[in-house]
Structure formats: C-alpha cells, structure tokens
Amino acid sequence: MAELGDLVRLFGPPPARESSPEDWAEVEDYVGSALPYDFKAFLDAYGTGAICGELVVFHPRGTSPLLTRMRKVHESFGQSWRRGSDEYPFRFHPDPGGLISWGYDYSGDEHFFWPCAQQPDRWKVVTNINGAHPEVFDGPFTDFVLSFVKRLRDVDPYHGIDPDAVAFLEPEDLNELAARGEIGPVNPSFEPF
C-alpha cells in the first residue's frame, strides 16, 4: 500500500500551504463519516488542482470547495440513478452506502469513494466511466493515483494523435508535439489551482 511519501516523490514537494483538521469538519459532517486518511493528507499537502493535467481533486478550502462539488454531483447522479436504477449497481450519497464524490478527470469520468467498509481507509474507489459504466479499484486513494499516473506514463509515444497522421508528420513536428505534452506519455505533475 502506497503512502503520501510515494506521491511526494512522484510530484515533488507540495506547495507551502496552511491546512487544519477543521477544514474537513463540514465535509465529514455532510458525509456522516471521516474520509480516508491518505486522501485528506494528500489534499492538505497539495490542495485543489490537477494531477498530470488530467485528474482533478478538490480540497474543502480550495478555489472550488469539495463540499459544494459533492452536493452538486450527488444530486445530479442521484437523480440519474433513480431514473435508471436497474442499469447501475451503485447508489449515491446520501443514500446508505452511496458513492461519495471526490473528483473527476478530463476524459469525462467521475471518481467516488465507495464506503464499503466501516473504516474509511478500507473504502474502494469507483470510477464512473463516461456517465455509465462503473469500474471498481480495489485499493485506497494513494494506490489509485499511482495507478492512474502509471497508465498515463505507459502510453505509446504517439498517443493522442491519429495513427494515419503520424506518417505525414516530420520527426521535428512529432518532437514538438511531445515536448508540449500534446502526445505521448505524461510526466507526473501536480498543478494547483
């Protein structure tokens, strides 16, 4: 099981920021439980931002507060679930055992905690893929982030470009696209906002 130190080694030292356990009180009151320790530790260290320019996470005191987003997502997904409950195996908070929103990615996937155990550090991560198909990650937040980053790092050098277009581009053009991060593997990063 990974720890915050593994993410710090990957993303570099977190920005200097003030945080307090009280930052989480309103969110955890709304959820009715503590949230996973590794999730809170990461967000207390790094704050609201984007992991590798793709995975967006929210701190309770960030520019986009976590609680505001949670309420919006839970309401929206909860309404969708009530309309199509036969097609989706999970409920959403505040329903008992309902998924708890914590972030999204720019591919259109929403990310949730599944409170499937009494101890929040044993909760699983559920990714709602493009609004329809859930995928369960059997591990904590930190392991999920490491796996997410690994997938972005392990793509082929021309990932993100139409394969037919590769033959028509000069090597310099491909190198420029890669240098700008528009194609190919992604370097581990965290960008606060």
Model pLDDT, residue 183: 60
CB atoms within 10 A of CB 184: 19
pTM of the model: 0.83
Highest mean pLDDT among 16-20, 92-96, 140-144, 164-168: 140-144
The strand ranges marked E within the chain are: 49-51, 55-57, 100-105, 110-114, 124-129, 133-137, 190-192
Smallest CA-to-CA distance from 77 within 32, 126, 27 is with 126
pLDDT tens digits along 22-80: 999 999 999 999 999 999 999 999 999 999 989 999 999 988 999 999 999 999 888 77
Report the alpha-carbon distance of residue 51 to residue 46 in Å, rounded: 10
CA distances 64 to 47, 92, 155, Å, are 10, 21, 30
Q: Could you please report the per-residue DSSP string of 64-97?
A: S-HHHHHHHHHHHHHHHHHHSTTT-S--BTTSTT
Contact 77, 128 (CB under 8 A): yes
Model pLDDT, residue 23: 94
Confidence category of residue 140, pLDDT binned at 50, 70, 90: very high
SS3 100: strand
Radius of gyration of the chain from Cα atoms? Answer: 18
Percent of the chain with pLDDT over 70: 80
- Cα atoms in the 13 Å half-sphere on the side-chain side of 155: 18
pLDDT tens digits along 75-101: 988 877 655 556 778 889 999 999 999
| Cα angle 147, 149, 153; round to 5 | 115
